[in-house]
Amino acid sequence: MEKLRQTLRVRKERAILVAAVFRGKDGPDDLSELTALTESAGAIVVDRFQQKIRKINPGTYIGKGKASQLAGRVKQFNADVVIFDNDLSPGQIRELEEIIGRKVLDRGELILDIFATRAKTKQAKLQVELAQLEYIYPRLTRMWSHLDTLAGAGGATAAGAVGGIGTRGPGEQQLEIDRRLVSKRITEIKRELTNIDKRRIREIDARKGLFKICLVGYTNAGKSTLLNALTDANVVVEDRLFATLDTRTRKWTPAKGVEVLLSDTIGFVRNLPHQLVASFKATLEEAVNADLLLHIIDVSNPDALKQIESVNNVLNEIGCARRPILKVFNKVDIVRKIDALEMLQTLFPDALTISAKTGLGLDDFSKAIAAKYKGTELLLRVLSSQSNGKVQSFLRTYGKILEEQYRDGSVLIDAELGQNQLPALKSLHPEAIEIIEN
């Protein structure tokens, strides 16, 4: 009973957010993304500030004086944790924690922590653990010498310095293991992941020949909602960042005779930690191998343009930049600033506009995808022996038969068919195919 009371009393960690911005350069943003990430990790943002800097202070990133001011704000707001939007070195984190007297996290650690709480499948769990270990590995000395002292002085913090954000997942046990054990575990995980990979490759092989479409985009853009709307995928949809960490693939029939594979994948944010991108390579490979990428964009978000850029950067990083890609404007049902949407539509005239939630625009969307899949519409004259029924039924299913003339055991068919479906028709060995018009 006592235990239950204790858990009820635990409150969320109180976080102060800091972004150091270089003088003269464009500020990254108004900390809105870091706020969303922090809240997704379960913490409460109590204060945030941007610090203009001329150069990085090697010891503390921001100036020492600023760090002391931060210590004052931590007391004032009774904060448990300070989160930087910048990438900090282990040494900088150590010094900052000493000055501030609270746990300090950088953006990468925060994202890793969110991933740790989201991972559900074995593969996702292993991938997150690997990323965390690789991230933590060079920081182990810090964990040893430092978190210890912080935990010792932990009475001073509201939620306790150890066990909150940044220390979940394998982090909890970090203190007891040394570098050797960590690298052993890293090897083990890599081996397990390779085995899972082999299974996936077999699965992918089995799907060879089918047209593959992958949904990519910023986290929370509505990728899973769209997959659910189009298929019976039943993927978890949530209004929080990184709801999906696995790839779900489903068959989808956007039009008569068109069957494709549609995959959902993890969402992106600005500067995903490299360790994460590397660990999730297998999951992201689904995107790399797709025949068409659909870039889902939440156009109701005022930062849509920045998010498009972030996604493009990640796509570059995972080697997808040259894949055929189609932009899809989602959440039109809740767009408030019509001129912002019109601006995006002017910038990206080929983009399709939909609402995955209400179904608005999904019919036209399906038609557009089917057209992409089929390629240019061709008018064909096909000669086939009447005993080869497959040719006729293929054209009936996948194209449109305009006229059939039977003579001497053969049939002459005029039909429309997409250019991309020509190889499949040829594989059925009709006697002759003539392209009348394209």
Ligand X SMILES: Nc1nc2c(ncn2[C@@H]2O[C@H](COP(=O)(O)OP(=O)(O)OP(=O)(O)O)[C@@H](O)[C@H]2O)c(=O)[nH]1
Q: Which CB atom, from 80 or from 246, has the smaller least distance to ligand X? A: 246
* Site map 120..159 versus ligand X, x via CB under 6 A: ----------------------------------------
Q: How many CB atoms neighbour CB 245 within 10 A?
A: 21
| 51-54 CB contacts, 8 Å cutoff, 24+ apart | 51/18, 51/19, 51/20, 51/21, 52/20, 52/21, 52/22, 52/23, 53/20, 53/21, 53/22, 53/23, 54/22, 54/23
How is residue 115 written in tokens?
Answer: 């991933």
Residues 427, 437: Cα–Cα separation, whole Å: 21
Interatomic CA distance for residues 221 and 30, integer angstroms: 20
Per CB under 5 A, 353 contacts Mg ion = no
By CB under 6 A, residue 356 contacts ligand X: yes
Binding partner at 356 among ligand X, Mg ion, none, C-beta below 5 to 8 Å by kind:
ligand X
Helix axes 223-230, 362-374, angle to 10 degrees: 80
- In the list Mg ion, ligand X, none, the entry touching 221 (Cβ below 5 to 8 angstroms by class) is ligand X
Write each residue from 220 to 249 as x if it is in contact with ligand X (CB under 6 A), else as -, in one continuous string. Answer: xxxxxx-----------xxx-xxxx-----
Q: Is 275 in the site for ligand X (CB under 6 A)?
A: no
Binding status of residue 116 toward ligand X by CB under 6 A: no
86 near ligand X, rule: CB under 6 A? no
- The size of the chain, in residues, is 438
Q: Which two tokens stand for residue 98?
A: 């000493």
Long-range contacts of 355-359 (CB under 8 A, 24+ apart): 355/330, 355/331, 356/222, 356/225, 356/226, 356/228, 356/229, 356/296, 356/330, 356/331, 357/222, 357/225, 357/229, 357/331, 357/333, 358/333, 359/229
Binding mask 200-229 for Mg ion (x = CB under 5 A): ------------------------x-----
| In the complex, least distance from residue 222 CB atom to Mg ion, rounded to whole angstroms | 8
Under 8 Å between Cβ of 126 and 193: yes
DSSP-derived secondary structure letter, 30? S
Q: Kindly write out the interface string for residues 185-224 of this chain, putting x where it contacts ligand X by CB under 6 A and - elsewhere.
A: --------------------------------x-xxxxxx
For the record, the structure tokens of 106 come out as 């950088």
- If one asks whether residue 243 binds Mg ion (CB under 5 A), the answer comes out as yes
- What does 28 bind: ligand X, Mg ion, none (CB cut-off 5 to 8 Å by kind)? none
Per CB under 6 A, the list member of 210, 334, 402, 432 interacting with ligand X is 334
Binding letters toward ligand X, positions 29-68, x by CB under 6 A: ----------------------------------------
Which residues make up the interface to ligand X (CB under 6 A)? 217, 219-225, 237-239, 241-244, 267, 330-331, 333-334, 355-357
